[in-house]
Amino acid sequence: MKRPTIVFAVLGLATALGCAPVLVGGLIWKASKSREEHERWSEAFQHTNEDRSKRGLKPLDWCIEAVHFDRGWAHQDPTCGPRIERAENGDTLALTYPPSFYQTKPDSSR
């Protein structure tokens, strides 16, 4: 009775040890793939803003667009993190307009 239990235990351990490198390798591959995707997204974002500038349009806000792409990644940005936290705490405008939108503009009526 003990012998089949030992055999199953050895087979289970061997299988687990064989799967561990595959799991670790998969996690590393996923992380590197995400890094490459972030780099591609960042380059595309810069090209889009350059194109918008040439057309006379305002640039897109980095934080707003980064949150749409990957919220966790955007939260790591020192500028975006506080804005995301404000949005999570109920500030409905934190990720709607860029900070420059709130800057006071000179009064043209004077």
User: Tens digit of pLDDT for each residue in 85-98?
Assistant: 999 999 988 888 87
Q: Are 21 and 15 in contact (CB under 8 A)?
A: no
pLDDT tens, position by position, 96-107 = 887 777 666 665
Q: How far apart are CA 9 and CA 3, in angstroms?
A: 10
pLDDT tens, position by position, 14-32 = 666 666 665 556 655 555 5
Half-sphere exposure of 99 (CA within 13 A, CB side): 8
* pLDDT of amino acid 85: 94
* pLDDT of amino acid 15: 66
Residue 96, C-beta contacts closer than 8 angstroms, at least 6 positions apart:
64
- Domain boundaries defined on the chain: 1-44, 61-110
